């Protein structure tokens, strides 16, 4: 059972806000409406305290009560908030920017934030490395193919068979270098490796002499909506250099995802 009393809460955190968020999280994790007593028990609070929070949430239409059973449940108003946030790429950019700078510093290379746009990858933020050099494709607003970019491959791991078929029909597997994947079976094998590893490479598949490694950024549903990538010349982006710096990239992408609402989901609590 989750108990907010077990949390090490910083002194400056507003405890009322913490309790309110705990109630929302508990209710969201449950498959069925809850009795007041059950919410209080799961949150580790007394019923009168929980009732005050529920009354406030009910007044703002975030919570409703079944008049027949007396049980409480979340409304879809909270989903509208999430939808409003997910509709703005500017929000992702502001969250990600400090991490782009940090990753760029660790790798000493350019770090990019890219999203999916009309079956392609679009770069929405770029921080150049100390060398002040950027690969020709990695510039804000530039579009790149999905099948030969690190971020593109990550997003493709979430594609259904039908979605992948549409991509291949519309965009084709165009070759840009001798390393570009141009056959569906080879792409499927590559995507399987990417999914298992949790990160993806572009090994001179878009540009000769350029190498990239990318990590996924997920939204609150767990869907990959963007990617954090590092690009640089193959002479500097060696296997050893990438291996040493990769934990920073993966952790940064994970931290951005956390701020976008994603976390590993625990099994539902049962009453």
pLDDT digits (tens, 9 = 90+) for 163-184: 999 999 999 999 999 999 999 9
- Domains of the chain in sequence order: 4-75 (1.10.10.10), 85-259 (3.30.450.40)
When pLDDT is averaged across residues 46-69 and rounded to a whole number, the result is 91
Structure tokens at 61: 């239409």
Structure tokens at 123: 């770069």
When pLDDT is averaged across residues 200-216 and rounded to a whole number, the result is 95
Please give the pLDDT value at position 246: 97
Is the model more confident about 65 or about 83?
65
Phi-psi label, residue 118: left if phi above 0, alpha if psi -120 to 50, beta otherwise: left
Cα separation of 237 and 209, whole Å? 10
Give alpha helix (H) positions in 73-120. 77-86, 89-107
pLDDT above 90 coverage of the chain, percent: 64
How far is residue 232 from each of residues 6, 107, 134, 194, measured CA to CA in Å? 45, 9, 7, 20
Structure tokens at 18: 């913490």
When pLDDT is averaged across residues 45-51 and rounded to a whole number, the result is 93
**Angle between the N-to-C axes of helices 47-59 and 15-29, in degrees from 0 to 180, rounded to the nearest 10:** 80
What H or E segment, with its residue span, contains residue 121? strand 121-127
DSSP assignment string, 197-215: HT-EEEESSSSTTEEEEEE
Cα separation of 66 and 153, whole Å? 45
Claim: this prediction has a pTM higher than 0.85: no
pLDDT digits (tens, 9 = 90+) for 105-131: 999 999 999 999 889 999 988 888 776
């Amino acid at each position: 059972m989750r108990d907010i009393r077990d949390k090490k809460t910083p002194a400056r955190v507003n405890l009322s806000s913490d309790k309110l968020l705990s109630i929302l999280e508990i209710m969201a994790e449950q498959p069925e409406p809850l009795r007041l007593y059950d919410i209080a028990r799961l949150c580790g609070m007394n019923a009168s305290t929980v009732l005050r929070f529920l009354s406030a949430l009910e007044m703002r239409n975030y919570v409703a009560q079944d008049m027949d059973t007396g049980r409480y449940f979340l409304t879809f108003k909270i989903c509208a908030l999430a939808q409003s946030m997910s509709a703005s790429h500017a929000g992702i950019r502001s969250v990600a920017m400090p991490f782009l700078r940090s990753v760029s510093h660790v790798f000493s290379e350019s770090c990019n934030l890219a999203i999916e746009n009309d079956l392609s990858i679009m770069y929405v933020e770029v921080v150049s490395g100390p060398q002040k050099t950027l690969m020709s494709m990695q510039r804000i607003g530039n579009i790149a193919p999905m099948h030969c970019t690190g971020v593109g491959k990550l997003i493709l791991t979430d594609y259904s068979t039908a979605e992948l078929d549409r991509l291949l029909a519309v965009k084709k597997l165009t070759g840009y270098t001798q390393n570009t994947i141009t056959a569906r079976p080879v792409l499927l094998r590559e995507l399987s490796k990417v999914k298992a590893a949790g990160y993806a490479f572009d090994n001179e598949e878009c540009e000769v002499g350029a190498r990239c490694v990318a990590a996924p950024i997920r939204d609150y549903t767990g869907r990959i909506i963007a990617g954090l990538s590092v690009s640089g010349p193959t002479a500097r982006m060696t296997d050893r250099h990438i291996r040493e710096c990769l934990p920073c990239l993966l952790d940064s992408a994970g931290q951005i995802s956390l701020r976008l609402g994603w976390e590993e989901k625990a099994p539902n609590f049962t009453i």
